[in-house]
Structure 1
Amino acid sequence: MNAKVNFQLPEQLIPFYSAADALNAYMLASEAIAQLRTLINQISKSTAQIKAYAHNNNVSQVVFSELENLISVSKLLADSQVDTYNLEFKRHTKESHDQYDAGDLFNTYSLAYENTSWLQTMFYQIKDEAEIVKDAVKQNIHSAVFGGLDNLIHIAAYLADNHSNTFDVEREKYEMEWNKIGGDQND
């Protein structure tokens, strides 16, 4: 007698991820912040060039103080974030678990989303402050001098927004999965 037995394994209730998935999330976050940090450095250089030009045109350097402070805070924030991701990457490389769950990846992408959102906010603050500086010096310096700085700020804000949205999508995906399996009750 040839009877066929229909045998199905039950669906895995809790999907697990590998260390590579966790490492990839930290690497993506680190690379995104490093890109933004590069743009912050370029914004700083452009601001210094404009400030030197302003000095040569007898414009008070005080008008640049707040803009320079915002740029400095952005640099410190980006440096701190890159350091955090690099430490987490190293920690998960050395002490990797066999399995990671959606909650682990939700936490990683939530952090990346929050950090890129902070930098996005900083870029909008820098943009607003650059407009204030531009207005304050318009009698002595043509607004075209600010063209490169404006472009860098817009690129940085766009890139931060893009990264933030990407991390938000990933965060929401893992949050839904985590909530679906009841992970929020286990925290």
Structure 2
Amino acid sequence: MEVIETKLKGAFAIQPKLFHDNRGYFFEWFNAKKFEGETGIHFQPVQFNSSKSTKGVLRGLHYQEDPACQTKLVAVTQGIIQDVIVDLRPDSPSYGMYHSEIISEEKKNQLFVPKGFAHGFLVLSETAEIFYAIDDFYSPGHENGVMYNDPSLNIDWQMEPDQIILSDKDKVYEKMTNRTFQFKYNG
């Protein structure tokens, strides 16, 4: 697998190596030993989630606060999404910056999202199924988010605003301005 650090410290784009033959293909979704060898990061998932959404659905930008922060490995099993992460760690050199990555069933690529990041995605295909491996359990009392269209982030979403479908919860998140985040930067 090829592991490339994004411009956001500690976040990685991952491209598994596919082995094709006349029967189809094979690949490793994730290899913790190889990943740790390349990044120095130990990632041990304890929860696996999946969601399915239709074109235009934007889920995010979500995160969990301390002490229930989560590291995620995001993949797409069907369709295409624009996956976006935002560094919320105040001590990080990439604080307040975002990274956008197109993740697809065809490419089998993934995004590794460390603790202290907000995460969201926009479905670009007719439908998409997203798979998440997570290193801590979901905690409703620690769930929070940042408004997807926060002008201070200036995220270049790959769809016109009138085509984006949000949940009621995602419509009311606050902007980053004048907010305090308690995440630690582990660089």
TM-score category of the 2 structures, normalised to the smaller one: under 0.3
- The structure showing larger relative contact order (alpha-carbon pairs under 8 Å, at least 6 residues apart) is 1
**Of the two, which has the highest radius of gyration?**
1
TM-score normalised according to structure 2 size: 0.22
More strand by share: 2
